[in-house]
């Protein structure tokens, strides 16, 4: 077997793409619209050798937000410098729900409340302000 992708439903494709592409830095590997079914699929990768994908499914007629269950869990990405990335995405208006107080792990949420775990590559970075003193915000 080979792992292919994880699908998440999004209510607003533009907001989802802004978050995953512009803020997190993922790359669109392919996009296809299905007018008969009234939905769009967008596949995203990190651009690295491992081409495992996230599939964003946008149903054109979905008016109400999708229910969010804790049974899904989260998506996780390894990052080169967790402090730099958290600073960048926070400056772009994203709430850091679980700050990287330990220099190793942080959580944010997508516009559709999908929990995203950010993990420091290699060893944790030394604790650093303002992250050490920053409280948790909401759920992740």
For residue 117, indicate whether it is catalytic. yes
Of 14, 55, 64, 117, which is the active-site residue?
A: 117
In the chain, the N- to C-terminal Cα span, in Å, equals 30
Q: Dihedral of the CA atoms 130, 131, 134, 138 (nearest 10)?
A: 140
- State the Cα angle at 138 between 98 and 115, rounded to 5°: 65
Q: Which residue has the tokens 């229910």?
A: 67
Which residues are catalytically annotated?
Answer: 117
């Amino acid at each position: 077997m080979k792992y292919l992708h994880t699908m998440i439903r999004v209510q607003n494709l533009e907001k989802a793409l802004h978050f995953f592409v512009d803020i997190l830095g993922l790359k669109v590997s392919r996009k296809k619209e299905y007018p008969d079914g009234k939905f769009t699929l967008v596949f995203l990768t990190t651009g690295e050798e491992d081409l495992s994908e996230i599939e964003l499914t946008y149903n054109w007629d979905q008016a109400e937000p999708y229910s969010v269950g804790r049974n899904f869990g989260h998506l996780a990405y390894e990052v080169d410098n967790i402090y730099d990335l958290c600073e960048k995405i926070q400056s772009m208006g994203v709430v850091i729900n679980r700050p990287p107080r330990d220099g190793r792990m942080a959580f944010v949420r997508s516009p559709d409340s999908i929990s995203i775990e950010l993990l420091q590559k290699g060893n944790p970075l030394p604790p650093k302000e303002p992250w050490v003193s920053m409280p948790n915000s909401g759920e992740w």
